[in-house]
Amino acid sequence: MTENTAPDQDTTPEFNLDDWLAGATIAQASVDILQRPDLLARYDEWERRYERAQQIAKSNPDAGLDDEDPLLEIEAEGETLLAEISASRATWYVRGLQDDDANAINEAFPMPDKPAGFDKPLPTVADKPTNAQAEAYNRRFRAYEIELERYNTAHRDEHESWAKAAFEVQTNRGAEQIVRCLDRIEVAGRVIATSITHEQARALPSKIGDVQVGKIIAAIKAAREAEPEVPAGFLSRSSATSPE
């Protein structure tokens, strides 16, 4: 006699949203920053010397048979230089800038009010103007240019002062983005920092250059705006090795 068995119990664990949210994180991005970008110039110079040495060796294959190969010395120099560059590389991990942080930054570093500009409208000319109308327009336009130049001269200091103040605000805002969004800095897989002060962030352009600071800011923007996706290459490899 066949014994009736109860249907399998659903063993799927109950989903707990609070537990899921507790383990959730916002997106991050990473970017490699060189502590010594000047080493790249030295590497470029090394490459040129190495190429010249290779050309000389090809044109005179018998050279160095009785002595040490000159290419070996240059190659060893290149390996040492590459090791220095590698040791100079740090990976910066940053989070996306959140709205609360953005608002706090704007409040901490408000943009100065822009001074009023020259508001006199440009002269206009009718479609298919007559000669008289064209000449009248030219006179009005020359008078407009003279008045504009006088205005700019009279207000040059005011506008230059505003431009400098606005640039200072933008610099402070950029530095504060790095302060608030930095998660960690790693060198060779070892965490060397988990925070940065505003003063340190302000000093970055003079230390590592505007271009590399721009890379950090761009990574913060990417972490905020880019849709989190698993790399397609990883998915392809996983599919290829998964059992059917």
With tokens 């916002």, the residue in question is: 26
pLDDT at 13: 72
As a whole number, mean pLDDT of residues 3-28 equals 76
Res 242 pLDDT > 80 = no
pLDDT at 5: 55
As a whole number, mean pLDDT of residues 218-241 equals 75
Torsion sign over Cα 65, 68, 72, 78: negative
Provide the residue ranges of all domains of the chain, joining segments of one domain with +. 27-117+155-227, 118-154
As a whole number, mean pLDDT of residues 104-116 equals 96
pLDDT at 19: 86
Torsion sign over Cα 192, 198, 203, 205: positive
SS (H, E, C) 202-231: HHHHHHHCHHHHHHHHHHHHHHHHCCCCCC
Token pair for 214: 């721009």
Interacting residues of 57 by C-beta distance below 8 A, sequence separation 6+:
63, 64, 70, 71
Res 186 pLDDT > 80 = yes
| Residue-wise pLDDT tens digits, 21-74 | 888 888 899 999 999 999 999 999 999 999 999 998 888 766 555 556 778 999
Nearest to 234 by CA among 243, 223, 242: 242
How confident is residue 229, by pLDDT bands cut at 50, 70 and 90?
confident
pLDDT at 8: 58
State how far the alpha carbon of 236 is from the alpha carbons of 91, 168, 224, 243, in Å.
Answer: 27, 47, 26, 13
How confident is residue 228, by pLDDT bands cut at 50, 70 and 90?
confident
The answer to whether residues 85 and 40 touch, using CB atoms and an 8 Å cutoff, is yes
Element housing 29 (H / E): strand 28-34
